[in-house]
Chains A and B, each alone.
Chain A
């Protein structure tokens, strides 16, 4: 490590990294556009100017992203010279910028906007006509390009080249005629396009999915973990005040996902916002209809069922957390049976970037909790002979499919704890549970790294957590109802 002085403070800096990284690591923010810690460094935007003094040489203003750290270097990120340089640079960047912040999805998290405010450049001095370029260039299913807003930092080009290693973007034209493009306007392809909207420091590359959906300052960001494969990318779940999940974005985590996530995970919010949520409890009435019931009553009936079963099948959703898995395992044990989790087939999305192709985000965690994986065939065999089936966790009904329930023996009792409603005639008792943005817990990813999921909103009214429901069953299972109620 190299010792340098940043704003009067002696700090340790990694000599393999540029000066800007050292400044950021030690909490001194240096504005930047083209620099991104997850991409190669080009040093072209020239906004990251800081004042550096080395040895006897007079202090000079340099681009921090292209300056290697050197022992004894004295850095001032806030000198007048550095601020002047940045202000000049911003003036150039704003010269052709359309300043359409009021209708720009990036407004509020746009660093061009932020730095302009910081450097107090209130008035532009240019009266020249601004460049007229394409404002709505379609780059495929995911991304829309506004060439007028683009500041040509080339982050997007480098991202496609370096991360999914799928070079599809380029800067064509020269000088002031430069524009970001795809070759012959071909649509972008691949599972990592969404990251382009994150790396874009301005509103040039925006998500079609998020276009005009929310002002970002109205979003609450909750750190969580992606559910769509066993990589378990660290993400931020962003919800509006009404609880609707508007966006999911990667959260930097060097151990797991770097700075990225795949589109498959990013755009899985549809599942989270569905309106057909299961209520706290429903039981099949005499007329054969599932009817809303008091959850206490429902739990009592389940307890009874469990106490009289002789061959119960306990199957969990692969989205159960470690904590829920442990509770499930314990309940199964108290009923003298083995808990299992549904193990879906690997999908074709696996790649050597992030996606593992295993849709089960907590395979390792659930196995650690004592659950055994169960595939469709094993389920078919086990469920045919069981006298009581307990299905717990979100998306399990969808994964099994209606046909799987159709095939169940009619005498069998089926208890389902799910997020969504179902009117399947095989279900005897249904109880609502929170989905993965309404509860907290831990998933363990493919490499054994734990990832926390955090509640970003509350569960529907009256819906209790899985740990809570399973716990109240475990404490009483195997005992007669009378003992419990006394």
Chain B
């Protein structure tokens, strides 16, 4: 299967993370084009809107539309920020680290274009603490770009100035939630803020702020360089462009693959990832990271784009597929995820703090042969009490959804823990 690629093209070059190699490959060309063609900030936003680019951080919100929520600079003179969410912590998701490690200049270029479009004063890149090499590469690229007059004052002689700062996270999943990220950047605990107010009106230090995922910003230079119409030739009508699919689990060739949105999950699994390992067959798969509901094998022909996966009853998320083969225990995988969310809940909201712990306790009991009749019903009931929209952020939803989906499609596995505990223990 062949298709047009762009996201990972440069990263195939040797030393693609250096300014020299990146520039030779056309890095900062889009930025130069924006400045030289005297595009207005509004027309840059317009182009991104026209491209139909949807956020790659999980929610799939249209990026251009998000940018247009920033208040009018003529009536609102406050400092304006963007925070780039590089706190990639969703289990299964591993795309942003490739981008930052192999092609940091493209991210910097995207940041600067976004900064120009939204008239930002500064950009913060919040990098997951464990991402040492991606962080170091980003920092080195930033230093190089600054020395070359690309970041800071009077960018490329355009008269436009913008600073980019790096920030290292300290290891909490919740800091990847946009308002938790802002709290963390401000030096506080990463406790998500209730919305409203939304970041565009009251963000970092109370100033207008936009939070975008690394991959979303990474798409921007290509859209500006080649045009929104070109961008729309890839992907689907409602989800244009390519995306990076990180596929993991029981597959022959796990990794990050660049594919157009709308590609079938089967193509990714069978053609790119080499199918299920050890000649086994598929039992279940997560379409877009741990927070998206698990789907059974017979839904593998689902198209990988936001609307199709939603129609299938799950979420596209970050497009990170997690594959379980026929030998895997769905209950055990539910326990792994429940433990994760129990550990990562910030503890503000009652439903999430207590609910994640309760889920973990019940599933743990099921797997220890201590299940009781009614446990599965209770698990369903309490998970339904955790969402939607009952808490400040979506972590509670993210904990509840996979458990409910697992029970929806694999209820008999959960029931078996109660009816024949000796098999589980064996």
Chain A residues in the interface with B (C-beta under 8 A): 41-47, 49, 60-63, 66, 68, 85, 88-89, 91-93, 95-96, 125-128, 151-152, 154, 171, 173-178
Residue of B nearest to A95 (CB): B354
B196 touches A175 (CB 8 A): no
Residues 343 to 375 of chain B near chain A (Cβ within 8 Å)? 343-358, 361-362, 365, 372
Q: How many interface contacts (CB-CB < 8 Å) are there between A and B?
A: 95
B350 touches A175 (CB 8 A): no
Distance between Cα atoms of A456 and B223 in the complex (Å) = 77
In the complex with contacts A42-B194, A46-B390, A151-B350, A88-B385 CB distance below 8 A? yes
Cβ of B177 within 8 Å of any chain A Cβ, yes or no, is no
User: Which chain A residues border B344 with CB–CB below 8 Å?
Assistant: 174-175
User: Which chain A residues border B361 with CB–CB below 8 Å?
Assistant: 128
A96 touches B354 (CB 8 A): yes
User: Which chain A residues border B356 with CB–CB below 8 Å?
Assistant: 175-176
Cβ of B156 within 8 Å of any chain A Cβ, yes or no, is no
Cβ of B342 within 8 Å of any chain A Cβ, yes or no, is yes
A128 touches B358 (CB 8 A): yes
In the complex with contacts A68-B196, A85-B390, A44-B349 CB distance below 8 A? yes
Most buried by A among B350, B351, B385, B391: B350
19 new A-B contacts at CB < 8 Å, known A125-B382, A174-B346: A44-B348, A45-B349, A45-B350, A49-B390, A60-B389, A61-B389, A62-B389, A88-B351, A91-B385, A92-B382, A127-B372, A171-B347, A173-B347, A174-B343, A174-B345, A176-B345, A176-B347, A176-B357, A177-B347
B351 touches A152 (CB 8 A): no
A175 touches B392 (CB 8 A): no
Which residue of B196, B343, B347, B351 is within 8 Å of A178 (Cβ)? B347
In the complex with contacts A60-B389, A68-B196, A95-B354, A174-B349 CB distance below 8 A? no
Which residue of A43, A92, A96 is within 8 Å of B351 (Cβ)? A92
User: Which chain A residues border B148 with CB–CB below 8 Å?
Assistant: none
Min Cβ gap A17→B in Å is: 14
Cβ of B172 within 8 Å of any chain A Cβ, yes or no, is yes
B196 touches A92 (CB 8 A): no
- In this complex, how many residues of chain B approach chain A with their Cβ under 8 Å: the count is 31
Min Cβ gap A165→B in Å is: 17
A175 touches B349 (CB 8 A): no
Distance between Cα atoms of A42 and B378 in the complex (Å) = 29
In the complex with contacts A174-B172, A176-B342, A93-B347 CB distance below 8 A? no
Distance between Cα atoms of A158 and B348 in the complex (Å) = 13
Q: Can you list 28 contacts pairing A with B, beta carbon distance less than 8 Å?
A: A41-B194, A42-B348, A43-B194, A44-B392, A46-B349, A46-B390, A46-B391, A49-B390, A61-B390, A85-B385, A88-B390, A89-B351, A92-B350, A92-B351, A93-B354, A95-B354, A95-B357, A95-B358, A125-B378, A128-B361, A174-B345, A174-B346, A175-B345, A175-B346, A175-B357, A176-B342, A176-B345, A176-B357
Most buried by A among B345, B357, B372: B357
User: Which chain A residues border B357 with CB–CB below 8 Å?
Assistant: 95-96, 175-176
